[in-house]
């Protein structure tokens, strides 16, 4: 007897570039896929893969499923924004990335951002008046953008889920699964 997977048939976008924190993309992706979701990695340009960052050095590459320029929020039910310092710092300078994040927010679709991932939320104007968490070094950036920052492993404010670091990945992933399964 098989049990129904709570996210069967759900499609989730994961937006990243070279330098994403390896575990913050690969672990939530694995957990979401085990729950039945399809997770598509979206990256700018024509790269067929992007390289992660782990422990101060380059990690393995992850396959890119869709070019950012062809991605539409309407094709997905949720957005995953992994951290790493390099990844969101690059994404927030790309108008197409900021526009995609904003489109998810404006559509009221779930957005889950971990570690430095909320940096991109600032540029997409999705944190003002919201309660969030993040890696501590971007706390002031979030507060200056109008967010209320808290130090918890997971903070959920409506359809926005944020977490602080790789140790929070299990709780972060459970929160997104619960939101999508509700």
CB 171 within 8 A of CB 31: no
Indicate if 116 belongs to the active site. yes
Q: Which domains are assigned to the chain?
A: 11-181 (3.40.50.880)
In this structure, the strands spanning 154-157 and 160-163 are antiparallel
pTM: 0.96
Of 66, 72, 115, 148, the active-site residue reads: 115
Residue 86's pLDDT band (boundaries 50, 70, 90)? very high
What is the structure's pLDDT at 3?
A: 64
Q: Output the average pLDDT for the chain.
A: 96
Closest CA to 82 of 37, 51, 47: 51
**pLDDT tens-place string over residues 29-51:** 999 999 999 999 999 998 899 99
What's the rounded mean pLDDT across residues 96-119?
98
Element holding 21 (H helix, E strand):
strand 20-21
User: According to the model, what pLDDT value does residue 35 have?
Assistant: 97
Among residues 66, 72, 116, 148, which one is catalytic? Answer: 116
Catalytic residue list contains 148: no
d(CA 91, CA 65): 17
- Tell me how far CA of residue 119 lies from CA of 1, 4, 161, in angstroms: 44, 35, 14
pLDDT confidence band for 2 (50 / 70 / 90) = low
């Amino acid at each position: 007897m098989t049990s129904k997977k709570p996210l069967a048939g759900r499609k989730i976008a994961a937006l990243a570039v070279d330098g994403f924190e390896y575990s913050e993309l690969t672990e939530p992706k694995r957990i979401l896929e085990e729950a039945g979701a399809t997770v598509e990695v979206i990256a700018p340009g024509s790269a067929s893969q992007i390289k992660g960052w782990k422990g101060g050095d380059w990690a393995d590459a992850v396959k890119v499923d869709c070019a950012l320029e062809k991605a539409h929020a309407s094709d997905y039910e949720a957005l995953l924004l992994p951290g790493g310092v390099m990844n969101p710092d690059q994404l927030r300078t790309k108008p197409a990335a900021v526009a995609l994040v904003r489109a998810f927010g404006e559509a009221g679709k779930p957005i889950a951002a971990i570690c430095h991932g909320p940096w991109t939320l600032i540029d997409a104007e999705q944190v003002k008046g919201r309660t969030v968490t993040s890696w501590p070094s971007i706390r002031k950036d979030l507060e200056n953008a109008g967010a209320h920052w808290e130090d918890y492993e997971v903070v959920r404010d409506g359809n926005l889920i944020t977490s602080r670091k790789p140790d929070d990945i299990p709780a972060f992933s459970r929160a997104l699964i619960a939101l999508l399964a509700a």
